[in-house]
Amino acid sequence: MRKKIYDKKIENEKLQDKYLEKVLEQIRCKKAKPYIAKELESHLEDQIADNIKSGMNKEQAEKEAVRDMGDPVETGVELDRIHKPQIAWKLLLLVGLLSIAGIIIHTIIAQNTGAANFISSRKYIVHVIIGNAVMCGIYFLDYTWIARHAKKIGVALMAACILASVFGINIVNGNIYWPLYISGHYIFMKAFILLYVPVYGGIIYHYHGSGYSGLVKSFLWLLLPVFIMLQAPAFMTASTLAICMLVMLTVAILNDWFHVSKIKAIAGIWGVSVIAPAVVFAVMYVGDYLSAYYKARITAWIGSGNETNYIANLIHGMLKQDQMIGANGVNISQKLPDYNADYILTYLSATYGIIAGIVACAMLAVLILAVFRTAVKQKNQLGMVMGCGCGMVLLTSFLLNVLINVGAFPTVMTFLPFLSAGGNYIVVCYAMLGIVLSVYKNKNIYPKHLYIGKQGNSRKILRNIMD
């Protein structure tokens, strides 16, 4: 009798396994199979439990549950249609339009000036091609790989900044260049350290569910690159990193990653990040403990008759002369330095009219909004936070550049995503978009939470999937 019951149990288990096997045979995306199997097993278990409650014995309940799931081939085909890689065509269209606009703008600039410092405009199309190659590479790499190796990548980026500060070249006001010469350019670490932001999403995901201990460790990973860039010195880069990562950490807390008091945790990290540095800075400023570089920058911002105020006054003057359509009559190439990079919006408004500047800003705003929409709508929490990180870098850089170009913020080195000349920043922007495209690609594949530890067999992965 026991043997008969045991044989029936084995038969029912085989029936379920055969059903699952047949369904999974229709699924072409290998990454989706473990998660689909887990989902189907959960549905079968729920249905079996419901059948037993309705009065069926376990054997009958299991048979009916499998039958109710429908034809395995049809079910598999439908699941294959749902769980397949996606392409964010709207994002690609927007970045394509921005790239074409940038190529046209910088081609005209390169033709109208022979100055050596505008070589970046002449090579803009090359930088765009390199950026697109990087974007495609990250798209096919899969953002979960970045998350899996996030700590190693983060350490590598910070180590590169430290080494560049010690052995690098052209260290002027925090403009740190890695001493490696590639395709006619040195690597600008102030640009590439921005990649730490989406990587940070993977770092804090490793501390998912680890309570206040994980939150403290996540916060320390935030402070490290900020401290390194302050020592460069590169205050604006440090500020950008801090703001972007604080927003990401806040989003993680709000989504209960650490299982801590949300109000206390958010108040704590923002209090430590804003109030404490402000107090320390005030004490250092009053006590004359600031470095010569920071003193010079503060004096430049609040003083008069210096280069910073000269540029700010020049921008204000050109804004008053700008026309809605057409040139304002000012030869901007002879008056404003780096007009093809930091002040590309000022150039557009002065050369083609205010409408041209507004159109450029509108295109970027739509792209950044699309990035955030893509991130926020992700079922997968890791992809959501990493996508938000990319969006924050683009948004912060965009807003800062606009404020500087309208004279509402002190002049500092900045860039307009996708449109400013400068190969390093262009590549970084496309890399950010590559991560977002990878997130979108897998939006119907990965579950809400997934295991990003070392690769293992499917059973191990399934055991580690968090409910």
Which helix (H) or strand (E) segment holds residue 177: the answer is strand 175-182
pLDDT at 178: 59
Alpha-carbon distance of 300 to 302, in angstroms, equals 6
The residue among 249 and 19 whose pLDDT is bigger is 249
Residue 461 sits at φ, ψ, to 5 deg, of -60, -45
Residues 204-232, mean pLDDT to the nearest whole number: 91
Alpha-carbon distance of 113 to 58, in angstroms, equals 82
pLDDT at 295: 60
pLDDT at 277: 73
Alpha-carbon distance of 201 to 220, in angstroms, equals 14
Q: Among the listed ranges 20-24, 118-122, 137-141, 157-161, which one has the minimum average pLDDT value?
A: 118-122
Distances (CA, A) of 23 to 35, 62, 402, 413: 13, 17, 53, 56
Residues 386-391, mean pLDDT to the nearest whole number: 96
Q: 266 CB contacts (<8 Å, ≥6 apart)?
A: 250, 253, 254
pLDDT at 290: 60
pLDDT band at 384 (very low <50, low <70, confident <90, very high): very high
The residue among 131 and 411 whose pLDDT is bigger is 131
Q: Among the listed ranges 16-20, 237-241, 278-282, 367-371, which one has the minimum average pLDDT value?
A: 278-282
Count of CB atoms within 10 A of residue 66's CB? 19
* Closest C-alpha among 414, 249, 232, 403 to residue 319: 403
**What DSSP letter does each residue of 273-313 carry, written as one string?**
IIIHHHHHHHHHHHTT-S-HHHHHHHHHHH-SSSHHHHHHH
pLDDT band at 288 (very low <50, low <70, confident <90, very high): low
pLDDT at 121: 76
Q: Among the listed ranges 253-262, 281-290, 421-430, which one has the minimum average pLDDT value?
A: 281-290
pLDDT band at 305 (very low <50, low <70, confident <90, very high): very low
What's the mean per-residue pLDDT of the chain?
81
pLDDT at 462: 35
Res 280 pLDDT > 80: no
Res 252 pLDDT > 80: yes
pTM for this predicted structure: 0.83
**What DSSP letter does each residue of 315-377 carry, written as one string?**
HHHHHHH--SSS--S--GGGTSTTTTTTTHHHHHHHHH-HHHHHHHHHHHHHHHHHHHHHHHT
Alpha-carbon distance of 136 to 406, in angstroms, equals 34
pLDDT at 453: 63
pLDDT at 148: 93
Res 437 pLDDT > 90: yes
Res 157 pLDDT > 60: yes
User: Is the Cα torsion angle 384, 139, 401, 350 positive or negative in sign?
Assistant: negative
Name the most confidently modeled range: 22-31, 133-142, 284-293: 133-142
Q: 109 CB contacts (<8 Å, ≥6 apart)?
A: 118, 121, 340, 347, 421
Alpha-carbon distance of 139 to 146, in angstroms, equals 11
Helix (H, G, I), strand (E, B) or coil at 25: coil
pLDDT band at 197 (very low <50, low <70, confident <90, very high): very high
The residue among 171 and 456 whose pLDDT is bigger is 171
Token couple for 403:
């404020």
Q: Could you read off the pLDDT of 80-136 as tens digits, one per residue?
A: 777 788 889 999 999 999 999 999 988 888 877 655 446 667 788 989 999 999 999
The residue among 236 and 155 whose pLDDT is bigger is 155
Alpha-carbon distance of 103 to 132, in angstroms, equals 13
Alpha-carbon distance of 280 to 372, in angstroms, equals 34
pLDDT at 185: 60
Query: Do residues 330 and 350 make contact, with C-beta atoms less than 8 angstroms apart?
Result: yes
pLDDT at 211: 93
Residue 178 sits at φ, ψ, to 5 deg, of -65, 135
% of the chain surpassing 70 pLDDT: 81
* Closest C-alpha among 124, 87, 89, 181 to residue 429: 124
For residue 69, with 0-12 CB atoms within 10 Å meaning exposed, 13-18 middle and 19 or more buried, which class applies? middle
Q: Among the listed ranges 55-64, 153-162, 296-305, which one has the minimum average pLDDT value?
A: 296-305
Name the most confidently modeled range: 76-80, 230-234, 267-271, 460-464: 267-271
